[in-house]
Amino acid sequence: MPVVWCVLSLCLWVASAHAQISRLDSMQYLQNVTVYGVKPYAEVIPAQTLSGAKLEALSSHSVADAIRYFAGVQIKDYGGVGGLKTVDVRSMGSNHMGVFYDGIQLGNAQNGQVDLGRFSLDNIDEVALYNGQKSEIFQSARDFGTSGSIYLRTRRPQFAMGQTDHLLVTMRTGSFGLANPSVRWEHKFSPHVSLSLNTEGTLASGKYHFRYRKFFSDGELAWDTTAVRRNGDVQALRAEASLFGTYDGSRWMGKLYYYVSERGIPGAIVNNVWKTAQRQWDRNFFAQGSYERKCSERYELRAQAKYARDYLRYLNPDTTLMLIDNKFWQDEIYLSTAHKVTLARDWDVNLAVDYQWNYLNSTQVNFVYPTRHSLLTALATAYTWRGFKAQASLLHTHIADRYTTRNDGTVLAHHRKRLDRFTPAVFVSYRPWAAHDLSFRAYYKTAFRMPTFNDLYYTDMGNVQLRPERAMQVNVGAQYQLFTERGFVASARLTADAYYNRITDKIVAIPTGSGQYRWMMMNIGEVRIRGIDLTAAVALRLPADIIAEFTLSYTHQHAQDYSDPTDRGEAGSYHGQIAYVPWHNGSVATHLKWRDLDVNHSFIYVGERYHNSSNIPANYEQPWYTHDLSASYRFALRGTRYIKVTAEANNLFNQQYEVILNYPMPGRNYRLGVAFGF
C-alpha cells in the first residue's frame, strides 16, 4: 500500500510521495520551523488530531482548550487559569475517557479525574482523540479499556545535520496577572540518543471581572452587577526530562515528570457569597519508560513501565462552613507488555498483558486504605484485505480490591472485592476505490469504568456496593480525503459519523439524611445518546503566498436520561436531555499564513442546554460562543536563531457566559508571548 506523506512546509504543500529515510533530515529540519503533516494511519478508524503548527496557532493554553475543537467533545470548564477542566466525549461522562501521556495512561484511582487544564501545550506535539479506542492492535491492554481516549504526545527532539542543541526560552504574560515562563533544552548525545528537558512555571492571580444582569420581559434592566472573580490564583511548576533512543532495531524512551501546584478553588457564585476560601495543593510525580523492538518480521514486542505518586491536599478553611483538611497520597505501579505476531502478510495478532497496582492513603477519619490490583489481558487481531480493514479485540479485566474498615484506630474487618469482566470491540473500515480516498467505517464496543476509590471508600460517602458503570457504543461513518500538488484546494478532509451510546448503572451522587453536606454514590442512572459528528478541514492556496486553512466541527446530540420511567411529563426527567449537553455545538477555526506571519481566528459555539435533565425554564442555560484571535510573527536572526512574538485576544466580544451554573467565565482577555530559540 502506498504510504502518503503530505507535508505542509512553511505552509506550502511540498511533498506527496513515499517517505524516505534519506529525506528525513531535511524534512525534519523544516519541522523545527513549521511543518504540518498528515501521517499514514495504522488504525482502522483514524483519530481527530491537532499537531504541529495547527496546534501552535490555536490560541489554546492547555490541552483542554485544544480539545474543544474536536467534534463530539464537551469541556466542563469552571473558569479561569487554575479552574478545573474535564473532558466529556459523546456525553458518556469524563470518567469514561482515558488520557494517555506518551503512550501510558495518566491514572487517578482516587477520583478518576484528569484535569486537562493542567497540561500545558508547551511541550506537546500532538493531541489526538479516538472515539471508542485507538483502533490499532499493537498497544497495551489499557488502551483497549476506555470508551474514548486522548493521546498526548510530547515533543521529540529532531536535529538537523551538525546540530546538537536546541534551546527555546518563552515568556508569556497577559490578563489574570499571568506570568508563564518556560525553558526547553534539547541535546543530542549521539545519533541514537537525545535528551529533552522542559520546565514551565505558571503564576497567576486568576482575577477577572464578571457581570450578571437580568431584564424585565419588556427589556428594561432589572438588575446588573459586576464583581471580581477571586480565589482563582494558581502557582504551578512543571518539570519534565525525557530521554529518547534507538538501538539496533529497537526504540526506547524514558521520562521523568514532576508537577507541583497550589491553587485557590473559586466556588459557585451565589447570593451574598462572592468569594470562597477553599484551597488545593498537588504534587504529581511519575517515571515511565517504554521499549519497543521488532524482533523479526513476524514478531514485535513492546514493554512499558511506570511508577506514579500523587499528593493532594484539600483545605476548606471557610469559617461559615465545615472545616475540611484532607490529604491523600496515591501510588501506582504499572507494567505492560504487548506482543504482536504477524500470522500472514495481512493478518496480525496482538496479546497484551498489563498489571497495575494502586494504593490510596489519607488523613480522613476511619479511612480504609484501599489497594487495587488490576490485571488486564487483551487479545486483538487485525486483518487487511484490499480496501477492507478489520480489527477485533477482547479485553479481560480482573480487579481485586482490598480494604480494611476501622473505627477509631481499631481494625473492624479486612475486606476483599473481586471483579472479572470481558469487554469486546469490533472495528471495520472499507475503502471501495483505490483512486479515491473515501472510506466507510463502523465500530461496536463495550467498556466499563470502575468506581473510583472515592466512589467506593470515601469516608461516609463512598459506597462499597457500587457496580462498574457500563458503556456500549455503536458508530457508523465515512471519511473523504483529498490532497493535491497544485491548484486552489491543497487538501480537504471530511468526516461524518453517527453514533448511539448507552450508559447503564451510571454512578450518581445523591444526598443522604436530612442535611445536604453528606452525599452518597449510587448506581442509578441510564443515559442513551444519539448523535452525529461532522468535521471538515480544508487548506487553500491563495494568491500572494497566502495559505488558508479552515477546520470545522459540528455535533448534534440527543443525550437522554432514561433513569426513571415514572418521571414523565413536561418537567419530567425521563427522556430529558442530560445536564450540560447541548443539542448543537461546533467550532470553526481559520488559520492564515503569509510568510512568517500567522493569523488565527477561532469560533466556538455551544448551544442551549439545561443544567439537569428536567428541561424546564428554571434549569435553562444560555448558549455561549466565543471568538478568539491570535497573531504571531517569527523574526529570523543570525543562523538558526529566531524570535517569535505572539499576541492573543480571547473572547473578543467580551461575552459574559457560564459553562457550569454559577461559575462565571472570563470576558475578553489578552496574552502576549515572546520566544527565543535556536
Partner 1 sequence: MVRQSSHNRFWSLALWSVALLALCASCRHEDVIFIPEHVQVAQPEYTSVSGFYLLNEGNMGSNKCTLDYYDYTTGLYHRNIFADANPTQALEMGDVGNDIGIYGSKLYAVVNCSNKIDVMDARSAAKVGQVDIPNCRYIRFHGKYAYVTSYAGPVEIDPDYKQRGYVAKIDTTTLQVVATCMVGFQPDELEIVEGKIYVANSGGYMVPNYENTLSVIDLATFKEEARVPIAINLQRVRCDQRGILWVASRGDYYETQSHLYAYDTRKQRLVKELDVPVGNMWLDGDSLYIISSEWSYLDASYGGATYCIVDTRTMQVANPMFIADGTQNSIKRPYGVAVNPITKDILVTDARNYVLPGNIYCFDRTGTLRWRERTGDIPAHIVFTK
Taken in order 591, 594, 595, 600, the sign of the CA dihedral is negative
Residues 400-439 that bind partner 1 (CB under 8 A): 407-408
Strand locations in 369-456 (E): 371-385, 388-407, 410-430, 437-449
Among residues 182 and 615, whose Cβ is nearest to partner 1? 615
Among residues 190 and 410, whose Cβ is nearest to partner 1? 410
Task: Phi first, then psi: give them for residue 24, nearest 5 degrees.
Answer: -60, -40
| Amino acid present at 364 | Q
Are the C-beta atoms of residues 403 and 361 closer than 8 Å to each other?
Answer: no
Are the C-beta atoms of residues 502 and 538 closer than 8 Å to each other?
Answer: no
Among candidate residues 304, 398, 384, the one with its CA nearest the CA of residue 348: 384
For 550-573, give one letter per residue: b (16+ CB within 10 A) or e: ebbbbbbbbbbbbbeeeeeeeebb
Query: What DSSP state is assigned to residue 35?
Result: E
Residues 79-118 that bind partner 1 (CB under 8 A): none
Q: Which stretch binds partner 1 (CB under 8 A): 186-194, 320-328, 379-387, 415-423?
A: 320-328
Q: Whole-number minimum distance, CB 616 to partner 1, in Å?
A: 7
List Cα–Cα distances, 50 to 9, 54, 200, 514, in angstroms: 16, 6, 22, 48
517 makes contact with partner 1 (CB under 8 A): yes
Among residues 487 and 639, whose Cβ is nearest to partner 1? 487
- Looking at 279, 313, 558, 584, which residue binds partner 1 (CB under 8 A)? 584
CA dihedral 245, 246, 247, 249 (to 10 degrees): 150
Q: Which stretch binds partner 1 (CB under 8 A): 25-33, 166-174, 209-217, 288-296?
A: 209-217
**Residues found in the chain:** 678
Among residues 215 and 422, whose Cβ is nearest to partner 1? 215
SS (HEC) of 559-620: EEECCCCCCCCCCCCCCCECCCCCCEEEEEEEEEEECCEEEEEEEEEECCEECCCCCCHHHE
Residues 595-634 that bind partner 1 (CB under 8 A): 605, 607-608, 611-614, 616-618, 622-625
Among residues 322 and 344, whose Cβ is nearest to partner 1? 322
Q: Return the SS3 of 183.
A: strand
Residues 148-187 that bind partner 1 (CB under 8 A): none
List Cα–Cα distances, 577 to 223, 264, 562, 597, 605, in angstroms: 30, 32, 10, 44, 18
Q: Whole-number minimum distance, CB 566 to partner 1, in Å?
A: 7
Among residues 247 and 620, whose Cβ is nearest to partner 1? 620
Q: Whole-number minimum distance, CB 508 to partner 1, in Å?
A: 8
Task: Phi first, then psi: give them for residue 643, nearest 5 degrees.
Answer: -125, 135
- Looking at 20, 22, 190, 319, which residue binds partner 1 (CB under 8 A)? 319
Phi-psi sector, 580: left (phi>0), alpha (psi -120 to 50), beta: left
Strand order in the sheet with 35-38: 12-17, 5-9, 35-38
Counting residues that bind partner 1 (by CB under 8 A) gives 83
Distance CA 161, CA 670 (A): 39
655 makes contact with partner 1 (CB under 8 A): yes
Among residues 62 and 650, whose Cβ is nearest to partner 1? 650
Among residues 161 and 223, whose Cβ is nearest to partner 1? 223
Among residues 257 and 554, whose Cβ is nearest to partner 1? 554
567 makes contact with partner 1 (CB under 8 A): yes
Among residues 154 and 276, whose Cβ is nearest to partner 1? 276
- Looking at 20, 190, 410, 516, which residue binds partner 1 (CB under 8 A)? 516
Helix %, strand %, coil % of the chain (to 5):
5, 60, 30
- Looking at 484, 599, 634, 640, which residue binds partner 1 (CB under 8 A)? 484
Distance CA 673, CA 538 (A): 28
Give the x/- contact pattern for partner 1 in 335-374, rule: CB under 8 A. Answer: ------------------------------xx--------
Among residues 590 and 640, whose Cβ is nearest to partner 1? 590
Q: Return the SS3 of 144.
A: helix
Instruction: For residue 526, give the C-alpha cell.
Output: 441510564
Q: Which stretch binds partner 1 (CB under 8 A): 149-157, 367-375, 426-434, 582-590?
A: 582-590
Residues 21-50 that bind partner 1 (CB under 8 A): none
463 makes contact with partner 1 (CB under 8 A): yes
- Looking at 661, 668, 672, 678, which residue binds partner 1 (CB under 8 A)? 661
- Looking at 510, 543, 638, 639, which residue binds partner 1 (CB under 8 A)? 510
Among residues 521 and 675, whose Cβ is nearest to partner 1? 521
Q: Whole-number minimum distance, CB 319 to partner 1, in Å?
A: 6
Give the x/- contact pattern for partner 1 in 533-562, rule: CB under 8 A. Answer: -x-x-x-----------x-x-x-x------
Residues 223-242 that bind partner 1 (CB under 8 A): 223-225
513 makes contact with partner 1 (CB under 8 A): yes
Q: Which stretch binds partner 1 (CB under 8 A): 23-31, 208-216, 371-379, 422-430?
A: 208-216
323 makes contact with partner 1 (CB under 8 A): yes
- Looking at 24, 434, 542, 571, which residue binds partner 1 (CB under 8 A)? 571
Among residues 76 and 156, whose Cβ is nearest to partner 1? 76
Q: Whole-number minimum distance, CB 155 to partner 1, in Å?
A: 31
298 makes contact with partner 1 (CB under 8 A): no
Q: Return the SS3 of 123.
A: helix
269 makes contact with partner 1 (CB under 8 A): yes
Among residues 360 and 521, whose Cβ is nearest to partner 1? 521
482 makes contact with partner 1 (CB under 8 A): yes
What is the Cα gyration radius of the chain?
A: 25
Among residues 379 and 494, whose Cβ is nearest to partner 1? 494
Among residues 206 and 586, whose Cβ is nearest to partner 1? 586
320 makes contact with partner 1 (CB under 8 A): yes
Q: Whole-number minimum distance, CB 668 to partner 1, in Å?
A: 16
Q: Whole-number minimum distance, CB 349 to partner 1, in Å?
A: 39
Q: State the DSSP H helix or E strand holding residue 210, giving kind and residue range, or none if neither.
A: strand 208-215
Among candidate residues 112, 214, 85, the one with its CA nearest the CA of residue 663: 85
- Full DSSP string of 297-334: SSEEEEEEEEEEEEEEEEEE--TTS--EEEEEEEEEEE
Cell 432514561 found at: 562
- Looking at 195, 464, 548, 672, which residue binds partner 1 (CB under 8 A)? 464
| Amino acid present at 403 | Y
489 makes contact with partner 1 (CB under 8 A): yes
List Cα–Cα distances, 345 to 340, 384, 386, 407, in angstroms: 13, 9, 12, 62
Q: Whole-number minimum distance, CB 4 to partner 1, in Å?
A: 16
Distance CA 89, CA 70 (A): 9
Q: Whole-number minimum distance, CB 225 to partner 1, in Å?
A: 5
- Looking at 162, 191, 409, 515, which residue binds partner 1 (CB under 8 A)? 515
